[in-house]
Amino acid sequence: MAKKQYRKAKSVRTADNTTAAVLNSPRNRLSTTDFNPDYSYVVKDLKRIGILAGSFIAILIVLTFFLR
């Protein structure tokens, strides 16, 4: 696997004596955005899988009574 390369931001002094590189770093920009994933489709799929599994088990139990 290749090594990740990181770019160093140029440091530019601002009026309040902080560097612009620190203020504009990718970590600061990512932390300001909200990460709100939508997993509603996963819940639907899990419910469907549960219903199918339950119905198959019920069918197998009913079949054991008829096949004995």
- Does the structure show a pLDDT above 90 at 9? no
Cα–Cα dist 25/30, whole Å: 9
> Within a domain: residue 63?
yes
> Within a domain: residue 32?
no
pLDDT band for position 1 (50/70/90)?
Answer: low
pLDDT number for residue 4: 74
> Within a domain: residue 4?
no
| Domain count along the chain | 1
Residue 56's domain comprises 38-68
- Does the structure show a pLDDT above 70 at 23? no
pLDDT band for position 65 (50/70/90)?
Answer: very high
19 exposed, middle or buried (CB, 10 Å; 0-12, 13-18, 19+)? middle
Between 13 and 45, whose confidence is greater?
Answer: 45
Cα–Cα dist 25/5, whole Å: 15
